[in-house]
Structure 1
Amino acid sequence: MKKWISFPHRAGRHSRQAHVDLPDGTYEREMGKEGFFGPAAHFYHTHIPTGWSDFQGPLRPHAFDTNLLSEFGGSPWDAEQLLGNAHLRLRIWKTDRDMDHLVRNADGDDLLFVHHGQGDLYCDFGHLAYEAGDYIVIPRGCMWRLAPAQKTELLMVEATGSHYQLPDKGLVGPHAIFDPAMLDIPALDDAFETQRSDNENWRVVVKARQQLSTITYPFNPLDAVGWKGDLSVVRVNVRDIRPLMSHRYHLPPSAHTTFVAGRFVVCTFAPRPIESDPGALKVPFYHNNDDYDEVIFYHRGNFFSRDNIEEGMITYHPFGFTHGPHPKAFEAGKKAALKETDEIAVMIDSRDALDIGAAAERVENNDYVNSWKPKD
């Protein structure tokens, strides 16, 4: 058990409650430990904490437009890594044709988020239809392939060497955010039976230690006639996620955690009412998340805390970088111009620094760092 050095104290002009009733003319900045779970201090500044006039060096924030990516190949293993480290690998894969082979990841669990498209997934456990907004968790070692009915675009998040689990939901109980009963599993249905074949060669491309091996069978190895146990591919759609809300207090991103893995978490920002209490912040608070790198994939809607960020883009804020809403969003929040959000976004908080891949560098908006500068 951790024993933090803890001495709650107050000095000068400050709010009695974090994120509520800020002193007139001030901007709140949170500095904390362990993301949003450890001890924290709140500072009240007379200038916006992100109001820099110049920003030099590798710490700067990044924005990548994945809509500009074009070369993908016929296999998810063809997708180039955008961001990654020893525990996490993030890719975008786009495809419009049936896979002519199976894949199996021996390095870790895969999380597929369907940004566009619909179709069918076939795997060891059976057949599962998919559509935009689906999260699909594929356990390590499972064989699978896609048969798109529409052009499909996936955000792929590999938990290298670890496994996806559900978060501890604490006081709100296990059925909050989404009930585990909402998790769908594949079926051994007619579609699965139809895809079986005994008289043709099937390749299984296995990724292990980030290297590929091909195993060929004289039959389709997706030929299970039954299975049992408590391990499976599972699916949940963002429409079934019911975010935690407080009309009097802006909750931290950790309240929206959807999955946890070794050394990172995956959170979902889903539509919700905006805080209605007159004194509560209406936008994310400025903060230094000094222990985690933050990545957000923007799926749908109007991203109320960002300016000039579109669907299909990714932002990356490395740890140690003070960040928060863009100036235009902050001013709109103060005026309570919006009553609810309509955004859907996937956030990944990584406990270890992420490396930027060559594919991400090709589609980076290098002017993103200047988007926090005060407008003249």
Structure 2
Amino acid sequence: MQRKENERMNTDPAKTDDGKLSWTAGDLAGLDLAACSRAPVLGQKDVRRVADDIDVWDAWPLADASGKPVPWNGGELWFALTAPRADDPESRHGLARIHHFFREGDSFRHLGQTLPEGFTPGSREWSGAARVEGAHLALYFTVVGERGESAPTFRQRLFVTRCSLAEDPDAPFGQWSDPREILEPAGPYMAAEETEGRIGEIKAFRDPFPWRAPDGAEYLLFTGSAAAAPRAFNGLVGLARLDDTSGTYRPLAPLVDATDANNELERPHIVEHAGRLYLFWSTQAKVFAPGITAPTGLYGATAERIEGPWRLLNGHGLVFANPESEPFQAYSWWVLPDLSVTSFADYWGIDDATAAQKPEGRTHFGGTFAPFLKLSLSGECAALT
């Protein structure tokens, strides 16, 4: 298998004249499902709820500019999307709020809701990132819908707010600054303004992730949809660069274009390792275009600099997948600079997607932090250790 991977990786990356990497059905045709790296199966002891009354999913740490979690109160400060525990776990997307948690070793303790109710201009909050910037904590996040709307809509916008940070776990945040929109959809990026839809099928303008280049330039990665291809499968990993004068970001060509292959390249982020940049994103089997057989998993690409050229990891992009017997057990992977990987326990103990829609779906939904995994990276190869 290693020889075949090397043969694929020695070919030129599929890229357009503007430098973006095109991720295609042809790339994924080289994916050997029988030999790909798989996460270990989760058992009951691995699914430890952090709180009885809330479900927890997409998570990220308070980090420095390199993405490394910063020490806080003898441990680490983390953020995640949460919603009240409900009979239908899928209803959480219409109720999502960012909460914060204290991590010490392998355990997480729930501390509370991060932003005041009614603070942001949307009806809910979706994923982002948190970074220490000078004396402040900067929280980048997705505003979804409109404040006060009677039914959830799916307009998505990218915002940041800042505050001072204290060591007191009962009152960690100073006064938050007014939330400020940092990038508007333009150029290659479609506005995500649907009033109704289904998760996995809606368009994307979300998941902001700030990244600082070695030369000090500030970039923003995000999940986007291609304006030039307004169809069912047009996912992008978007890129923008900070304008020091205006304090807002200027859209650039996307890093990855999955038009006609995949609809959602979610929660993109970059890790620097051994002199290379590693770009990671999560996606689900159900959002690949018809005719493409690829699993729910962590995918990625690598380059020596942000401008590229980017090459798919392992020749096809897949880093690792959920177990074949547990295809839905975890999702939303986030790689840290030490190559540890967090995610959340999704639907575990089932191998049939329809079971999640039945009353017993609640029983099989984890709604909590999953055990950390560990990656091995070497050039253009990546796998679980």
Q: Compare the two structures and name the one with the higher strand fraction.
A: 2
TM-score over 0.5 (shorter chain): no
TM-score, structure 1 normalization? 0.32
Task: Say which one has the larger Rg.
Answer: 1
TM-score, structure 2 normalization? 0.31
